[in-house]
Each structure stands twice: as structure tokens, then as C-alpha cells.
Amino acid sequence: MHVYEIFESGGPVMWPLLACSLVALTVTGERFLFWAQIRKHRNRQLMDEILRLAENGDWEQIREKCAGNRDHVIRMIVIGIQHRDYDMGKAMEAEAQHRLRKMKQYMTVLDTMITVTPLLGILGTVLGIIASFKMLGSGGVADPKLVTGGIAQALITTAAGLTISITTVFPYNYFKSRIEHAAHVMEKYATSLEVVFNRLERTKMP
């Protein structure tokens, strides 16, 4: 049986399932590219160097080294340094929240696809069973071939819904773990910079 025949046997619910699978695939691809760009711009060596320069209060040198850098942690640190005379912690927190919102973008879409597709599969199952009972009511049990279409519809939609949901869970959990790790790293470096800055300020006090 060809793919189109299987799709057609699944009944009308296969169309929203197809739409859900395309949405999940598109979002997954976009998120993989997003995280690939983040990985490309990561520069741990520069982050540690910034903290060393901050210990000596070399703010201008930090600004020069970080000019044009697209690492999200470094940009958060730079924002904090720029607002060091006001509230470094709040400035870095706001920037971190902004970065995390970008990282969480479309995650609710994937979560929705994981939840909705099995329910659509169950709906297809119910419609298939209803069609089978209608066939039994009109043709009786003498010709069981009349009900195979409804049974196929019930099984195919359930399988399709579960397949889409299961395959979407893996990238969803991967992206979720990357977000949690990114939040941990930003918190770590923000705290380190605040500690260094506070120590530096105390040494300036008479």
C-alpha cells in the first residue's frame, strides 16, 4: 500500500494531522538553526577574560574586546557593565530575560503539537468506529469487508497521531534542556561579575 493510499484510508482527520506534522517539522528545523547560531557565537575564553579584566576595572578594554560580539552571555555582561553606576544586577537580569524569551520562542507550539496530535488520533479512531458501526447497520455482519475501511481509519489515525507526538517530544526536550543550561550559564556569569564588581568597589572605599 502506497503512502497516499494509507493517508486516504485514514479519513479526514489525516489532514489536520498532516498540518500538525508540518508545523512541528518547521518549528523543529527553525529551532535547530537558532541553537546552531548560538553555538557558533559562543566564546567561553572571552567570557573568562572579561571577568579577569573586570577585577582590575578595565572597563574600556572590555568594551573594545566585546565590540560586535554576538555571544548572548557576553552581551548580557556588557549590558551590566554599561549600567554599573546604576544597577548592574537588574540590567543583566532584564537582558537575560530578553534572551530567554527568544530561546523559548515557538516552544509552546511544539508543546501544543505534542498534546493535540494524539487527541486528533483518538478523534479519528472514534470517527472510524462510528463508520464501522454504520456499515454493520446497513450491511450486517455477513460482509465484514464493509467495515474494514472504518477499522483502518481508526488504526491509521491513532498511529499517525502517536508518531507525530512521540517524534516531537525528543527535540522539545532537547531544546528545553538547552534553555535551562543557557539560563544557568547566564546566572553563573552574572553572579560572578557582580561579586567582582562589589569587591572592586569595596577596595575603593576609604
pLDDT tens per residue, range 5-17 = 677 777 788 899 9
Higher pLDDT, 11 or 175: 175
Joined together, the cell numbers standing for residue 57 give 576595572
Q: CB within 8 A of 93, min separation 6: which ones?
A: 190
Q: How much of the chain, in percent, has pLDDT values that exceed 90?
A: 36
* 146 has a pLDDT exceeding 80: no
Taking CA atoms, 62 is separated from 10, 40, 121, in Å, by: 61, 21, 56
Q: How confident is the model at residue 138 (pLDDT cuts 50, 70, 90)?
A: low
Q: How much of the chain, in percent, has pLDDT values that exceed 70?
A: 86
Q: What is the pLDDT of residue 201?
A: 67
Residue bearing cell 507525530: 164
Q: What is the pLDDT of residue 156?
A: 86
Q: What is the pLDDT of residue 21?
A: 95
Q: What is the pLDDT of residue 152?
A: 66
* 30 has a pLDDT exceeding 60: yes
Rg of the chain over Cα atoms, rounded to whole angstroms, equals 27
DSSP-derived secondary structure letter, 20:
H
Q: For residue range 75-126, list pLDDT tens digits in order.
A: 888 888 888 778 888 898 999 999 999 999 999 999 999 999 999 999 888 8
Q: Which of 61, 44, 66 is nearest to 186 (CA)?
A: 44
Summarize the confidence of residues 17-26 as an average pLDDT.
Answer: 95
Measured CA angle at 74 (ends 110, 174), to 5 deg = 25
* 27 has a pLDDT exceeding 90: yes
* 177 has a pLDDT exceeding 60: yes
Q: What is the pLDDT of residue 1?
A: 53
Taking CA atoms, 154 is separated from 14, 19, 53, 134, 158, in Å, by: 11, 19, 65, 14, 6
Taking CA atoms, 143 is separated from 16, 107, 127, 137, 148, in Å, by: 32, 48, 20, 11, 10
Q: CB within 8 A of 113, min separation 6: which ones?
A: 20, 23, 24, 27, 164, 165, 168
Domain parsing of the chain, residue ranges: 3-204
